[in-house]
Amino acid sequence: MNKKEYPKRRRHLMQMMGHNSIAILPAAPILIRNRDVEYAYRPDSNFYYLSGFEEPEAVVVLVPGRRQGEYILFCQERDKKMEMWNGPRAGQEGACIDYGADDAFPIDDLDEILSGLLEDREKVFYTMGFSAEFDHKMMEWLNQVREKSRIGVHAPNEFVALDHLLHEMRLFKSRSEIKIMRDAAKISARAHCRAMQECKPGMMEYQLEAELLHEFAQHGCREQAYQSIVGGGDNACVLHYIRNDGELQDGDLVLIDAGAEKQYYASDITRTFPVGGTFSEPQKAIYKVVLAAQEAAIEAVIPGNHWNDPHFAAVRVITKGLQKLGLIKGNLRTLIKDEAYRRFFVHRTGHWLGMDVHDVGEYKIDGVWRLLEPGMVLTVEPGIYIPRGSKGIAKKWWGIGVRIEDDVLVTKDGHEILSDGVPKTVDEIEALMATSD
Ligand code: GLY
Ligand code: MN
Ligand code: MN
């Protein structure tokens, strides 16, 4: 990430907050996996977006107009012994020199100092209700300020959800953010290609997952943006399938939904392909409907269109396709109006993508689907799922679950598909799979 972005973001946010305000953002907590084993630490996206600071046990405070400095970073103190166990810390000096803080204090002094920073501020911006512990502390600090009212200190009157301003900023990606997201998508695309080439009947789903992780790491991404989904056959019909412990069967499709995280930016790609390298006729028929729906939806990703337009495009194509295959019956308009497709296509066509896989940003403004604008990144991911045992559905369709997902940037003139490095037509997929030995 271009280091100049962080101060720019902080300035922008402070401008919107206005004077007499303060913003407070705690770092993400360390999470325990079991006993004394921790999960890999991942900074909170809002916190990192403003600070570029990766250590836990820290709090960012922004105080627009504060004479002694507007950006204060509370963080762990340097500690030779602890650093020998857990690695180097920036300390307060590093916070100022390397991370641009105007002022830095030890995290252990937070209680002592924070109430003072709240004095005579009118509005407090923070993410309420996210951490009960932090909410509680906030009230304690507030009460400390209130206790000083008799000596003329004014306590804040307003608590404002920080999310609204910050999430609107995060929704529009800068040039350097787009570059990182393009890289992340490229790496994920390579991983999906590798999975197609390495896939063999008899493999376990987690072995295919290992191929993806291998490719991510070989290209600099140690983390996935979310738990990969690798679902063979009927498992593809479980939308959040992450067990990945089934055996891949010849004749089945496998659905892979996986994306690398690069510098805390997500990619999110889904491809569905035949375990044995060749689609059966029913699989092909469903696949082609989903692909046509995805292409129609991507075509609708242009500035000025509403958020819902790609979804609506996908719904039309899927409904028409299901009708043509005899899976739903009736008049097209009525079928769409009655949402008949929802039996097979239960989720929406996409979501914002950024530092979080289901990224922040409003989808509606004043109750209306918002307009797409350049710099927004979204996924386009229609699907059709027909689990085994589906009542009233011919057996030949059972166990077919297809989703195709790409990451799409809205540009000035239309869109750019960030994840187009992996095949998605039937012929392209079969051709790529045929190249493996
Ligand atoms: N991988 C999560 C999603 O596609 O929304
Ligand atoms: Mn997605
Ligand atoms: Mn996905």
Reported as a single tens digit per residue, the pLDDT across 107-123 is: 999 999 999 999 999 99
How many Å lie between the centroid of ligand 1 and the Cα of residue 229? 9
Residue 173, pLDDT > 90, answer yes
Helices 426-434 and 281-299: crossing angle in degrees, nearest 10, is 120
What pLDDT does 130 receive? 85
Q: What is the pLDDT of residues 6-63, one digit of tens each?
A: 999 999 999 999 989 999 999 999 999 999 999 999 999 999 999 999 999 999 999 9
Q: Where do the domains of the chain lie?
A: 5-169, 172-434
Is pTM, for the whole model, over 0.85?
A: yes
What pLDDT does 38 receive? 96
Nearest-atom index, ligand 1, CA of 258: 1
The domain 172-434 is classified under which CATH number: 3.10.105.10, 3.30.565.10, 3.40.50.740, 3.90.230.10?
3.90.230.10
Measured distance between the N- and C-terminal CA atoms of the chain, rounded to whole angstroms: 39
Residue 437's CB is within 10 A of a number of other CB atoms, namely 3
Please calculate the CA angle 384-387-392 and round it to the nearest 5 degrees: 95
* Sequence-ordered list of residues with C-beta below 8 angstroms from that of 53, at least 6 positions apart, any chain: 27, 43, 47, 60, 73, 75, 90, 95, 99
Q: What is the pLDDT of residues 200-245, one digit of tens each?
A: 999 999 999 999 999 999 999 999 999 999 999 999 999 999 999 9
Question: Percent of the chain having pLDDT more than 70?
Answer: 100
Residue 437, pLDDT > 70, answer no
The residue type of 425 is T
Residue 256, pLDDT > 80, answer yes
Here the tokens at position 392 are: 């009233």
Whether 312 lines ligand 1, by a CB cut-off of 6 Å, is no
Residue 436, pLDDT > 80, answer no
Whether 407 lines ligand 1, by a CB cut-off of 6 Å, is no
Q: Which one is catalytic: 385, 406, 407, 415?
A: 385
* Topology adopted by domain 5-169: Creatine Amidinohydrolase; Chain A, domain 1 (3.40.350)
**Residues 346/281, Cβ–Cβ less than 8 Å:** no
Question: Which of 38-47, 127-136, 181-190, 409-418 has the least mean pLDDT?
Answer: 127-136
**Residues 259/226, Cβ–Cβ less than 8 Å:** yes
How many Å lie between the centroid of ligand 1 and the Cα of residue 378? 11
Taking all residues of the chain, what is their mean pLDDT, rounded to a whole number?
A: 96
Whether 356 lines ligand 1, by a CB cut-off of 6 Å, is no
Nearest-atom index, ligand 1, CA of 358: 5
Whether 257 lines ligand 1, by a CB cut-off of 6 Å, is yes
12 in active site: no
The residue type of 59 is V
Helix H or strand E segment including 92? helix 91-97
Q: What is the pLDDT of residues 127-150, one digit of tens each?
A: 988 889 999 999 999 999 998 888
Q: What is the mean pLDDT of residues 53-81?
A: 97
Question: Percent of the chain having pLDDT more than 90?
Answer: 95
Nearest-atom index, ligand 1, CA of 381: 4
What pLDDT does 150 receive? 84
